[in-house]
Structure 1
Amino acid sequence: MTTAYSFSSQLYIDGRRTDGDSDASLLVRNPATEELIAEVPQASLSDVRRAVEAARRAFDEGPWPRLKPAERAAVLLRMAEEMERRLPDLVAVNIAEAGSVRPLAESLQTRVPVAHLRDMAERVMPAFAWDRPMQPTVAPGIGISQGVLRREAFGVCALISAYNFPFFLSMMKVIPALAAGCTAVLKPAPATPLESLLIGDFADAAGLPPGVLNIVTGDIEAGRELTTHPMVDLVSFTGSDTVGRTVYAQAAASLKKVVLELGGKSASVVRADADLDGAVRSALAGITTHAGQGCSLLTRTLVHESVHDELVARLSEGLAAVRVGDPADPATTMGPLISEAQRDKVEKLIRVGEEEGARIVHGGKRPAGLDRGYFMEPTLFSGVDNSMTIARTEFFGPVGVVIPFATDEEAVRIANDSPYGLAGAVWSADTVAAHEIAARIRTGAVTINGGSAGVNSRAAFGGYKQSGLGREWGEFGLDEYLQTKTVSWAAR
């Protein structure tokens, strides 16, 4: 298990590195080579409880919630500086444990979350209305009252992240929680714990007080302990809608606040007058980015019947040019799925699509010559009806479907006929018509002609329906980790 990068493989509890009190461990494998790259401690339930207790002490007795926002912002900026210094390590670990191709590893996976952290400390926190005065109110026969609305940290937060964007998704929870003055226990996905464990190094380097951020590993039992522990006030979870419902139910017994960022089956509406070059590039990205392992990727392409065949032909041609292979190879443009189990799931859904009558235009198999690693060909289905399983189920793999429509009304109906509502897109030369369609699609974000807030910190990220509850990024994410307290008094 020799590596060209450094990482911390221990748990991080109460400001200290520890192997925990269990002999169990998690084996981290490179999904492109199946090579064992790290062995990290598997946190026991007692380790998780110690982490929660440390976070509780740090919130109830420590300085962090009582610091001025500017003081917390200074610590977060020091964390950002340390992350920037260690970016080569983060990139290398991401390629090895998550299977990202290098351009993705160097951008969305690592640099973007650091930019979000800087934005929180430099823009959001200084301008945020932490205390809002109430206008004096005259109560006849009683007097005049006045007061202030205070925004205060929610408390101890359980932050449960997903495997596909390990550092990015963890930081989208850690950033607003710490900015708000909360304390936290972070649990990364078992398949990709290394980048999240590194965050403990950044916390130490920045001088974060002990117990403010704790990082433990674990799977179902550790997650259940975090979502049910009486000392936890808020749970933020990113993952599948199936697990999200379980998290929601577990947290409900103690009425914890829950923020859920879940799945998607996002639709791109391509009108007859669309720029097909741009629409095709977008659809290709929706299928191939991180091998389709992204909740907000555009995997349903709804195209006007007059340009349907041309778009399908162009998509098929584009997919044929994709280079599938080891992401450590600069020539690779699409890497592996995270595990054998995930590949099996994708292959099973592809078979279901064929059985239901859809037609594979490209792909559908494991790539020839790649005997090791969890690879799949990028796959495109046509002849798809929106009632089919492959049009309604999230693959979380490199598979896209094309569905024709005749009118804008039909396109909106198909786009909204989904249990999910996370992202969407509209392509049209008529920007007024495109905006009208975007306004009618029931989803958390819609882009028009490729113009996008993207991962801009000023955007709000989150979904409708079974895509989740709450929002992340910038001031919208910060707001989820704050309570509002009314303090009032009589004017004399």
Structure 2
Amino acid sequence: MTTSYTFSSQLYIDGRRTDASSDARIVVRNPATEETIAEVPEASPVDARRAVEAARRAFDEGPWPRMKPSERAAVLLRMAEEMERRLPELVAVNMAEAGSVRPLAETLQTLVPVAHLRDMAERVMPAFAWERPMEGTAAPGVGNAQGMVRREPFGVCALIAAYNFPFFLSMMKAIPALAAGCTAVLKPAPQTPLESLLLGDFADAAGLPPGVLNIVTGGVEAGRELTTHPLVDLVSFTGSDTVGRTVYAQAAASMKKVVLECGGKSANIVRADADLDGAVRSSLAGITTHAGQGCSLLTRTLVHESVHDEFVGLLGAGLAAVRVGDPADATTTMGPLISEAQRDKVEKLIRVGEEEGARLACGGRRPAGLGKGYFMEPTLFLDVDNSMTIARTEFFGPVGVVIPFGSDEEAVRIANDSPYGLSGGIWSADTTTAHSLASRIRAGGVTINGGSAGVNPRAAFGGYKQSGLGREWGEFGLSEYLQTKTVSWAAR
């Protein structure tokens, strides 16, 4: 069944829809059919500047930062209710612009971020320590004093999201920013702007004050304006580590706070005593979920040499059963890459893998019979050394590598021998040893035997090393958008 959807083709600035300053447009294509599904404004630096100025006025003069947390929470809950009412529309837009298969579109892409919004308003904000009294005695010779330590909104935030999970990533930035009392300018990725534009509708329906949330659709120039504008206090970016370093450098000139989530090449360790069926399902998901376009996917599988051949046989059978095609087809289990440029990048890396001596066990080509759409076969490389490009570079495509190991020490060494450190996995019947190994993995999150289902809002999401700075989700994400102030007075 097809669900219709609508969206605005205007920017959202200062609480109203508005045209861009030029006629430049961004063409949005369905990656499964290559058809144009929308055209949206390409915001210029002038438009981005207008949005920043609106956010600045709303922060300095408007009610939002000065509301009680409970009052802000009530507005966020109204936003959640409106999102829930329009979930079928969000799902339809996500399938059309991001190429998600329906089960993914209905869960992680849409319903999960709404659940995070509810969790923030219902659990995190009421229990958060917005202020607390200073405790203990003063230092010798200083005298007695009393005071409070307050958590206050950071200010104007530039929120720059990636294309792979457009609504989810926009929400993971907007939720804590708004909950903290900040004001924001959101710039979605140019490939997938439509779901983020709908946030303007939800803000209006909930009664969010003008200027608190602004949405501009644009490319590099608009992004640079947001990361360098002197009125912006904080920048939150999700994307490649290459662009993340550029954002970090641009923000440094005015000493903005920067929160970065920049991808990974995460290792999935399969010990000799692992449940191979479960481990295979985990590695299969790491390769095929959203056609491999996920920063925390486990795409580097480290398998104990004693079970290597059995594991590879099971994984190969699983990959052979993947049905690649249009997400609108209910039988499809893996959709397309986002664009022709991304598919070209993946194909180039596959050729590099073969040139460096890795063995292409399956896939590596465009699927037969799909003349339109940016599709790739699920692909697996064997005989991989961890020094190879394909073991160190994030594909952002449906490609996995398998690397054998002989001991736990070797597995930890290989897992940590990466410029990234976003996530990881360990499969073992010996959970005590698995917990010990997890503590040695240099990554922001490690699952044991599959971890918990879903994306838990009580978790802290973020990475070590070049995977980024800061944390997202729940109270950990909220804290990134808050300044800490001490107010003290003389004791009497």
Q: Quickly name the TM-score band, shorter chain normalised.
A: over 0.9
Q: Which residue of 2 aligns with 1:15?
A: 15
Deviations 1:345-369 (A, max 9, x none): 0000000000011111110100000
Provide runs of 4+ in structure 1 moved above 6 Å: none
Determine what percentage of the aligned residue pairs are the same residue. Answer: 86
Taking the aligned partners of 2:104 and 2:454, their CA distance within structure 1 comes to 14
Q: Check the 8 A contact 1:31/1:374 in 2, yes or no.
A: yes
Q: Does 1:380 align with 2:380?
A: yes
Matched AA of 2:192 = T
Name the CA distance, whole Å, in 2 between partners of 1:360 and 1:56: 53
Q: Shift of residue 3 of structure 1?
A: 8.5
**1:437 is paired with a residue of what secondary structure?**
helix
Stretch moving more, 14-23 or 321-330: 14-23
Amino acid corresponding to residue 328 of structure 1 in structure 2: A
What is the distance in 2 between the residues matched to 1:260 and 1:111?
A: 24
Provide the residue aligned with 1:469 in structure 2.
469
TM (norm. structure 2) is 0.99
Q: Is the 8 A contact 2:361 2:379 kept in 1?
A: yes
Contact 1:7-1:89 at 8 Å conserved across structures: no
Letter in 2 for 1:355: E
Aligned to 2:6: 6
Distance 2:211 2:142 in 1: 46
Does the C-alpha gap of structure 1 residues 352 and 138 become closer, same or farther in structure 2, counting only changes over 3 Å? closer
For residue 126 of structure 2, what is the aligned residue in structure 1?
126
Q: Are the counterparts in 2 of residues 336 and 375 from structure 1 also a CA contact under 8 Å?
A: yes
Alpha-carbon shift at residue 135 of structure 1 (Å): 2.1
Q: 1:491 offset after TM fit, Å?
A: 1.0
| Alpha-carbon displacement from aligned partner over 1:144-195 (angstroms, at most 9, x marks no partner) | 2010000000000000000000000000000000000000000000000000
CA deviations 1:241-279 (Å, max 9, x no partner) are 000000000000000000000110000000001000000
Give the residue type in structure 2 aligned to 1:270. Answer: V
1:140, CA displacement in angstroms? 5.5
The number of residue pairs the alignment matches comes to: 491
- Separation in 1, partners of 2:127, 2:453: 21
Q: Deviations over 1:10-46 (max 9, x none)?
A: 1100000012111101100000000000011111211
Are the counterparts in 1 of residues 3 and 88 from structure 2 also a CA contact under 8 Å? no
* 3-state SS in 2 of match to 1:137: coil
Q: Is the 8 A contact 1:97 1:192 kept in 2?
A: yes
Structure 2 CA distance, aligned partners of 1:6 and 1:281? 36
Q: What does residue range 363-402 of structure 1 map to in structure 2 within 5 Å?
A: 363-402=363-402
Deviations 1:179-237 (A, max 9, x none): 00000000000000000000000000000000000000111111110000000000000
How much has 1:453 moved relative to structure 2?
Answer: 6.5
Report the AA paired with residue 60 of structure 1. D
Match of 1:188 in 2: 188
Instruction: Determine helix, strand or coil for the equivalent of 2:137.
Output: strand
1:323 paired residue number: 323
Q: CA shift at 1:451, angstroms?
A: 2.0
Alignment pair present for 1:436 and 2:403: no
The match for 1:404 is 404
**Counterpart for residue 230 of structure 1:** 230
Say if 1:360 and 1:416 are closer, same or farther in 2 by CA, change over 3 A: same
CA distance in 1, matches of 2:431, 2:138: 50
Instruction: Give the secondary-structure state (helix, strand or coil) at the position aligned to 2:299.
Output: strand
1:260 correspondence with 2:260: yes
Q: Residue 226 and residue 138 in structure 1: after superposition, are their counterparts in 2 closer, same or farther (change >3 A)?
A: closer
Task: Give the residue type in structure 2 aligned to 1:14.
Answer: D
TM-score, normalised by the number of residues in structure 1: 0.99
Query: Which residue does 2:104 correspond to in 1?
Result: 104
**Matching residue's letter, 2:244:** G
1:432-455 CA-to-partner distances (Å, cap 9, x unmatched) read: 111111110000000001123641
Q: Is residue 136–residue 147 contact of structure 1 (8 Å, CA) maintained in 2? A: no
Q: Which moved more, 1:100-109 or 1:304-313?
A: 304-313
Residue 143 of structure 1, CA deviation? 3.7
**Unmatched 5+ stretches in structure 1:** none
2:282 & 2:310 partners in 1: Cα distance?
15
- Structure 2 gaps of 5+ residues are none
> Corresponding residue for 2:50?
50
* 8 A Cα contact 2:157 2:183, kept in partner: yes
User: Residue 220 of structure 1 aligns with which residue?
Assistant: 220
Amino acid at match of 2:68: K
Instruction: Verify the 8 A CA contact 2:278 2:449 in the aligned structure 1.
Output: yes
1:202 maps to what in 2?
202
In structure 1, what is the Cα distance between the partners aligned to 2:433 and 2:303?
A: 15
| 1:227 alignment partner AA | T
Deviation at residue 5 of structure 1 after TM alignment: 1.3
User: Aligned-pair distance for 1:4?
Assistant: 2.3
Aligned to 1:68: 68
Aligned equivalent of 1:426 = 426
Whether the 8 Å CA contact 1:184–1:213 is kept in 2: the answer is yes
Over 3 Å counting, the alpha-carbon distance change for 1:176 and 1:142 in structure 2 is: closer
Checking the alignment, whether the CA contact within 8 Å between 1:266 and 1:421 is kept in structure 2 is: yes
Conserved? CA contact 1:136–1:146, under 8 Å: no
Contact persistence 1:139–1:145 (CA under 8 A): no
How far apart are the structure 1 equivalents of 2:236 and 2:462? 12
* Cα distance, 1:62–1:380 mapped onto 2, change above 3 Å: same
Change beyond 3 A, Cα 1:138–1:45: closer
Amino acid at match of 1:487: V
Contact 1:364/1:376 (CA < 8 Å) preserved in 2?
yes
